[in-house]
Amino acid sequence: MPALQDTPASGPRSLTIRSLGAQGDGRAQENGAWVNVPFTLAGETVRVDGAGERLKLVEVLVPSPDRAAPACRHFGTCGGCTLQHMAPAPYATFKREQILRALSARGLVADVAETWTMPPGSRRRATFTAKRAGKQILLGFHARKSHELVAISECPVARPAIVAALPRLKEIAGYLLSGKDGIAILVTETASGLDLHVTGLARDVKAIARVQAASAALQAGFARVSIEGADVLTERQPGLPAGAAQLFPPPGGFLQASAEAEAEMERIVREHLKFAASVADLFSGCGTFALRLAAESSVLAAEANTAAIEALKASVRAAHGLKPVTAEVRDLFRNPYAARELSRLDGLVLDPPRAGASAQVAEIAKSRVPKVAYVSCDPASLARDLRTLVDGGYRIVRIHPIDQFLWSAHVEAVALLERAP
C-alpha cells in the first residue's frame, strides 16, 4: 500500500519565519517544505493563509525588533517596494549579505564594505503604468507578481517633482490610452525639467492624440516628450551633469536611477582608476562614467545601443577640456574586445546588464589590464564573473554595495580589482 501523502496546508495558521530569501520574503518551513511569506522578518511568528510556495500574510503575532513602520500608505499592495517594514540597520545588512552569499556560492572571499543607502525622495526616474478602468484613469505600479494595477497618490522613493507631476501624467495618459490595454510612462527628472517617454501605445491611437498629449505636457512644463523612442516635442534639451560635461540622454535611454547613487559609484570608480592615462568604459550607455573619466584619462567607450553612443558623442562635442573620447557601437556579448586590445589600457570600468558579461570578462581575465572596476546590478552574475577574473589572476580589492533601489531586494555593487603581481 503506497504511503499517504501529506495534505497541503490551507486556511489560516501560524508559522515562524526562519530567514529572508533573496527577494526579501520571509521563509518558513511547513510540512517539510520551504514557503515564502511577503512582508515578514526573521524570527517573527505570523498568521498566514493560502497554499503553495507563496502564502498571504494575515497578521504578525510576534513582531521582530527589526520591524519598522512603512513610509508609504500604498505599501503592501503596490509592488514597487517590498522592504519598507524593515528598520534601516538590518535592511542595510540584508543588502550586504546578498553579495556575501553570492560570493560564497562561487567560493570567493572578499572585503565587502558596509552598504551605501540611497536617501528617500531621491529616485530621479520611475516608470509608471496607466490604464483605463471604466471612466477613470489609473496611474501607478503593478501589485507584486500580479497584473493588477495599484493607483498611487504618493511615492516616498521618487523625487518630489515626479510625485507632484502625477495628476498631469494621468491627464497626458488620457489622450494616449485606447481600450483596456495599459501604457508605460517613464519620467526622468533632469536639470532641464521632467523628461517623458511613453511606450506600449495601441496601434489605433491617432496622430492627433499624440499632439494633444505633447501639448498637455508642454503646458505642464515638461522638457521633452517622446513616444516609442521618437522625439515628439522638445521644449528644452534634457541634460544631466556629468563631471565637467553635460550628459544628454536619448529618449528612453538608460540612466542610473539616482543621482546620489551615481555620484557615489563614480567616486569609487574614479578613485580606483586615478592616474590611469587610458581607460575603457564598457557597456557605457550614454556616458555616465566615460564623461567623468575623460576629465583625467583618454577613454574608449563601447555600447551596443546606437542612440546611446550618438548621445555620448553629442555630450563630448558640447564639453570643454575633456581628454579624447572614442565612442563605438559594439555588441560586447557577441563581439567582446580581445585580451590583446585591452592590454594596451591602464584600466577599465564595465557596467553590464543583469546577465553580466561572461564573454567580455573572459577576455579581461586573459589581458594585462592593471585595474578593473565592475559595476553590477545582480550579485549572482557579478560573483560568476568575479570568479573568472580571480581565476585569471586578478585580486578583489574591495566590493562596495550600493542601495540604489530603496526598499527593494535589489542591490548594486562596485567591485574593484587589480591584477596580482
Residues labelled catalytic: 377
List the grid coordinates of 54: 507563496
By the 8 A CB rule, do 165 and 110 touch?
Answer: no
Helices (H) then strands (E): counts for the chain = 10, 23
C-alpha 308 chain-centroid distance: 17
Q: Within 13 A of 200's CA, how many CA atoms are on the CB side? A: 17
Q: Which residues pair with 196 in a beta bridge?
A: 187, 225
Strand order in the sheet with 13-16: 13-16, 45-49, 56-62
Residue 133's alpha-carbon distances to 61, 130, 140, 142, 262, in angstroms, are 37, 10, 13, 14, 37
Give the angle 79-82-87 at the CA atoms, nearest 5°: 150
As beta bridge partners, residue 136 has 133
Nine-digit cell string for 239:
541634460
Q: How far apart are CA 399 and CA 100, in angstroms?
A: 10
- Cell readout for 322 is 575633456
